[in-house]
Structure formats: structure tokens, C-alpha cells
A and B are shown apart, each in its own frame.
Chain A
């Protein structure tokens, strides 16, 4: 019926030249990170102290490991708020199973991973088979998991965190176990996303789910698997957090679920899926972590920290949407 849609010339949409838009989309977050690091030389030179760098990198790793999963989920146009519940669950499982005994750490981790996978499966099934919007499905799962863990502990978490997990707080120069884990997982998942069939399918599903289905991809299986991976990565981050805190804290990792989404978005992963990747997320994680540390070093109030963080997120998203053709 309607007249064939005219194709807009690729160079003129939105008024910004194509090259500039591609440049921002591809490298914007690194330029922002570089600018931040330069600003720190003047504002907070103490950031460059070896010990500070080590702490920043350890904390960035906690956030970064969850953010890997969050990026994968965002790539298939999803979202995972339930990771907050997984941190608490992991922490309680570790304390409950080991009760402080180092030799039981491995079984505890395996149990936590299995439970995490179950949560991810639940998220995935709700989103794909029951067509619940990811925000609602994972929010419900967050409340469910938190409620279930508190019912299990009757509100008084018991048990002790084994001493061996304290290893996450040690640094050799700037290197630490969390940092190595973060870097290793990044390397593995960057490889998966770029060089494997599975990675291609993840991008395809996120870019155009109907075209992916018509290309013979089992779109539901891909989406469910990504939610499971996301939950397992949250368990990994939860173990690092547990070792960091050293006891079962009811508020463990609070705020990391939103920070992990923010890191991925700031790093250029599209909220609508199909665009972005882990190299951007790494930079996004570093920006968020360095901002927090700088604010701390400058003695700014926590409220001011939040304001700065919020402005950075909004600024990044605004810039990407201006730069993006499809927005």
C-alpha cells in the first residue's frame, strides 16, 4: 500500500557526520577514560600510588566480573537485576557449607554455581517461554532469591567464611587473584563473542530476533544460555565479594547490579541489544570505579559521588544516542 520507504543517506542522519559518529561509538569510552586519568593527575595524584591502583583494580574486578554477564545479557536485548540476590545467596552458601573450613571451598563454590545456574535458567525461561519483560522477570527473581535465602537463614546468617578466601585481598604489586580472574574471563568471553558460532548467534539474536529465528537460530536457547552465564558470573563475583567482606553481610554487593548495567551501557553496549562488547565494558567498569575512588580521595560526600556517577551515565547515553543512527 504505502510508497516504498526512501532510504536515508547514511551520512546525513541526525546531522552528525558518519565518521564522527562511528568514532564516538567505537572509541568514545576510551577517550573518556583517558580524560579521566589525565584529570586525576591534577585532582587526585594519589590515585597513582601503587597501593591505590591495586585496590582500584581489585574493586573493579568485583564489578567487572558481573559486568561481563550483564553485557552478554544486554547483547541479547535483556537485563539482569537478580544478580544482587545471587551475591547474598553465594555468600550464605559459602559460609553455610564450609563453616570456615578451607577444604570445603571447592564444593561450596560448585553448589553456589549450580544454584546460580538455576536462577539464570529461571530468568531465561520467564523471559523466553513466558514472555515476561526482562526487567520484571529479573526483578521478581531478585526478590525471590533474597527472600528465599533469608528464610533459609531465618534472618540470622550463620557460619564462617573460610580464611583461604581472604586471598582475594592480597596484591602482588598491582596484580591480585580477582584481577587475574577478571582479565582471564574477559579474554575467554571476548574470544567466545568474536570467534565462535555461539558468539555470532548472541549478536544475531540481539540485533534482530525475527531475522535470527528465520535464519534457523534457536533464539530461545541462546537467550536462556546467556541468562545462565550471567548468573554464574554473578556467583563468581559473589565469591570474590565474600572473601573481601570476610563475613556474611546481608547487604553484600548492594548497588553492583545497577553499576554493572551502567558499566556496560557506558562502555557502549546498546540497551536494545546487538551492539557493543566487552572491550567497551572494561573501560566502563574502570571509569565507574576510578570515579568512585577519586571522589573518595577528594573527600566528597557519598551524595556527591552518586550525582557524579549519574551524570556520567546520562552523559554517555546521551552521547551514544546522538551518535547512533538507529537509536
Chain B
């Protein structure tokens, strides 16, 4: 009790010994952070380090399994998301929570509109108060415009104004810069500075270390759900921070086979699509694994979709070399040409959850097991049986709906489906996300077997040890561009993070 009284004056927020697990997966383990009023706290860590989980616990979206939260000197018990907002904590998520058709002012006061008698809206006061807030933020904005008319950067400012209207003393910004460029970022920083002067505390989550150095007073590093360290910014340099984020040595074993570099199979030149992807060029060789590293949102998935013909190209060319020399403009043609994509989001893009394992596996090769358009059950059974064997898929029967399989087996079903097309090139987008360790090794082994058969693999992964351990070469993406190539022998996590978080790539574009 005594300790708590002492902390009351010093800290606005203490999250102490927080642990949280989801179905046996430990997302946070004994993490503590303390925030003093009027300061900016950087929160950094690789994807999956637990930053978002920690903030969702703060927001009241999750309850911690263990640990306590002391806010403004009071221990918080089982607060709902609404209670948390009322207590003065605002969280601005990456995906902004605004109503596009409503005006700026209406969005700021959504659910808390100023009222006159009989519950009538007090529109005059609504706009006056909204104008006050935007003025306090030092931004000029017509508060009667619908939010849909604003740029993404302006929308973010509306979110901040909304936080201020709720009298927030603590604002959490989850990767605010991910969608901002150059001058917009400067504006955000000057707003943060003025908020801090007004005594507001900011928790700033970012992948971009430059920004953290520019704005934060203290930095907390999380890794694999554990607290690595919290340090004052003047005790840190870039290298040290990267080392803290990466931390442990490789503790997983990746199967390797020695093989000569094969012939060129695919060339992509200056590929752009109507997404963040901008001018990507790459070459792919037979039997190799080309790793694609980069932070979430850096354009990795967009590159994969472009190669597969899933998004139309706005510039550039993709060609298969060799006797085929094919090019394509949609997935069907890509599959026909021997290129397949195992998408990142298994449940929404890869798997037919309501359909049987059998139907999932044979879907792209139906023409091979039909006669006059009629499916030959025996031929289909053979295909499914062989796939089950080759990938050791654990299932009750081939007629079991795919949704009832474990994550690892679902991923194997998606892999099996594509391998049945006998591809020359396989693009794997986050092949081991959400699968257990045993299944991971099986997927690694399978990738090597594919290499041995001459299949070229493009592997996108957020797990750096996996990228480094499995790839022959690694391309690093940042802001929609390929910013560097690293050979396997020279690859280090620190080096890749450095490339992936370097600022400026976007400034060149805009």
C-alpha cells in the first residue's frame, strides 16, 4: 500500500507484472511499464512482440491474466472500454474509427454530442467546440466537411481532436506514422510536442526507429511478449536499440541443403500496382529460396499479389524465362504458367473453411481428375490420399470440413492444394504464421524438398530468424519499395531491421 501512495504523485500510469495468454500461447509475460505525465514513451518491438496486446489490455479490450494497472494513483479493476475512455485514456488505432459520411465535428463528438432541451442537437455549440479543438491542435480544418473528403493524415488529426475532446490525459498512438509522409509527419510531431506541453502523456508505438529517437523521452522494448528493457532516450543509440529488439540468437534449426544456383526462372521489372507497391524488380532462380523481409505494410503482400496476377499491374513486366516464356494477367493464367501463391491470410484468402479437405485440395486440378466434366472419385481419392501422406496431414477423414483442422494442418491443406498443380514457382506469404512449432519444421522440410525438385520459392515472413535461416537471398522492403538485397551469409537481424526501418524511402516518392 505504501508503495502505491508514493507512486501516485510520480506516475500517471503503471502497468505492473502484466501477463496474458491466448489458448496456451503466452502473448505477454510479466511486463511492466510506468509513465510520468507530460512525456512521450516509445514502445518498440518486432511484429508479434506483444505491443498491441499490451495496449489492448490498457484499453480494456482484453483483461490481463495476471498483473495490475494503476492509473492516476488508483488501482483499476475490470474496466470496460467505455470506462477507460471516461477515465481519460484514448487509443488511436492504425485503422481509424471514424464514420466517413459524418462531418468532422460530428465525428469528434460522436455519442457525446452537445444537446439542448428535449435531446435536440446543439449544432452551433458542436461546431464551435470542434473549431476550438482544431485550433488547440494548431490545424486549420473546416469542421463541417464530411470525413470522407479528408486525407488520411487529416483523418488522423480528427482522431487526435476526438481524444482531446474526451479530455484525454494519456493518448496511445499505434503506428501513427505508418500512413503519413514527410510534412504530415512533421505536423504530427509538432502536435505531439504541444500536447506534451499541455501535460498530456503519449505512448507512441512505431516500427520506425528514427521517429522514436526524434520524439520519445523513454523507450520500452518488447520481444516475444517479454520486457527487454526501458531506457531513457539519451542512453540509447540506434545500434543498441536494434540489438535490444532482436535480442536472442537463432534458437531454431533450419534444414539446409547445398545446391548450386540454378537457371533463371522469373524476371520482374519495375512492377507497380494500384497499392503501396512501387517499382519492384527481382530475379528468381531455380531451386532457391528468395526471402522477402520488411515490416507489416511495407508492400510484401502486395508484391506477392502482383507476381501472381491478383492485382493488375500499373507498370512493369513479369516474365517466366525458359521454354515457356509466359506472362499472365490473372491468377488462372499464373497457375497455368506454373506460378502459385499461398496467401498470407489463410482463413480469408486461402482456405474454404466450410468445404471438405478433399474439395479444398483438388480445386485447382479438377480438370485432371475429370472425364467429360464428371469427377472421377477414384482418381480424386488417390490425389487426396497421396497429399495426405506426403504432407502428413492429420484429419479424421477427407470429408471433414477444413474448419475443424488445426492451424498447422489447415496450412498443409492449402500447401497441398497448390503443390498438386506441380508448380515451378511457389510464393509463400507468411507460411508459418499461427502454426505450432512441430508443423513449422515440417513446412521448412517441405520447402527444402521442393527446392531439391527444382522449384523456386519466394518466402515472405515477419519472423527474421526464419527468413535468415531459410533464404538463399533476402530482399528487404520498405514503404512499397525493395530497398536492398542481402546474401544469406551476410544477413543479420540487425542489418535487415536497419534497412526495413530506414526513413526516407517514401519522401523520395512524394
Contacts and interface: CB of A to CB of B under 8 A. Distances in A.
B354 A275 contact: yes
A196 B407 CA distance: 29
A7 B351 contact: no
A226 B314 CA distance: 33
Contacts of A3: 22, 25, 27, 48, 50, 52-53, 225
Interface string A12-28: 00000010000000000
A5 B53 CA distance: 12
A236 B330 CA distance: 37
Interface in B345-384: 348-355, 359, 362-364, 366-367, 370, 373-375, 377
Contacts of B362: 200
* Interface SS of B by simple majority: mixed
A6 interface: yes
B52 A2 contact: yes
A160 to B, nearest CB: 42
Contacts of A208: 348-349, 351-353
A196 B355 contact: no
Contacts of A307: none
Contact of A210 (B225, B349, B407): B349
- Which of A204, A212, A215, A275 is packed against the most chain B CB atoms within 10 Å? A215
B302 to A, nearest CB: 14
Nearest to B364: A215
Interface string A165-207: 0000000000000000000000000000001111010011001
Contacts of B375: 195-197, 200
A303 interface: no
B313 interface: no
B366 A4 contact: no
A214 B349 contact: yes
A3 B334 CA distance: 32
* Interface SS of A by simple majority: loop
Nearest to B356: A203
Chain B: interface residue count, which band? 35 or more
B359 A203 contact: yes
B230 interface: no
Contacts of A5: 22, 434
A178 B48 CA distance: 61
B403 A211 contact: no
Contacts of A10: 403-405
B304 to A, nearest CB: 11
A116 to B, nearest CB: 24
Contacts of A7: 23, 406-407, 434
Contacts of B296: 1
A103 interface: no
Contact of B23 (A1, A8, A200): A8
A326 B348 CA distance: 13
B359 A326 contact: no
A203 B355 CA distance: 8
A213 B354 contact: no
Contacts of B363: 200, 204, 215, 217
A120 interface: no
Contact of B359 (A4, A9, A200, A217): A200
B352 A207 contact: yes
Nearest to A324: B354
B23 A204 contact: no
A69 B258 CA distance: 57
A126 interface: no
A215 B22 CA distance: 32
A55 interface: no
A6 B52 contact: no
B331 A215 contact: yes
A7 to B, nearest CB: 5
A207 B353 contact: yes
Given A214-B343, A214-B349, A274-B355, A198 B373 contact: yes
B285 interface: no
Contacts of A318: none
Contacts of A204: 352, 355, 359, 363
Contact of A217 (B47, B332, B336): B332
Interface string B454-498: 000000000000000000000000000000000000000000000
A285 to B, nearest CB: 23
B155 interface: no
Nearest to B408: A7
A51 to B, nearest CB: 40
A200 B417 CA distance: 14
Contacts of A211: 343, 348-352
A214 B53 contact: no
B33 interface: no
A196 B367 CA distance: 10
A325 interface: yes
Nearest to B405: A10
A225 to B, nearest CB: 14
Interface in B267-307: 296
B52 A1 contact: yes
B405 to A, nearest CB: 8
Nearest to A207: B352
B64 interface: no
B51 interface: yes
A16 B243 CA distance: 48
A214 B403 contact: no
Given A200-B363, A208-B352, A275-B354, A216 B403 contact: no
A218 interface: yes
B374 A196 contact: yes
B359 A6 contact: no
Contacts of A203: 352, 355, 359
B438 interface: no
A2 B351 CA distance: 21
Contacts of A256: none
Nearest to A7: B407
Contacts of A213: 310, 331
Contacts of A325: 403-404
A241 interface: no
Interface of B: 22-25, 27, 47-48, 50-53, 94, 174-175, 225, 296, 308, 310, 330-336, 341, 343, 348-355, 359, 362-364, 366-367, 370, 373-375, 377, 403-407, 417, 433-434
26 contacts: A1-B47, A1-B48, A2-B53, A3-B27, A4-B433, A10-B405, A200-B359, A200-B366, A203-B352, A204-B352, A207-B353, A208-B349, A208-B352, A211-B343, A211-B349, A211-B351, A212-B352, A213-B310, A214-B331, A214-B341, A214-B349, A215-B331, A215-B363, A215-B364, A217-B363, A326-B354
Going nearest first, the 4 A-B pairs with the smallest beta carbon separation are A6-B23, A216-B332, A207-B352, A4-B434
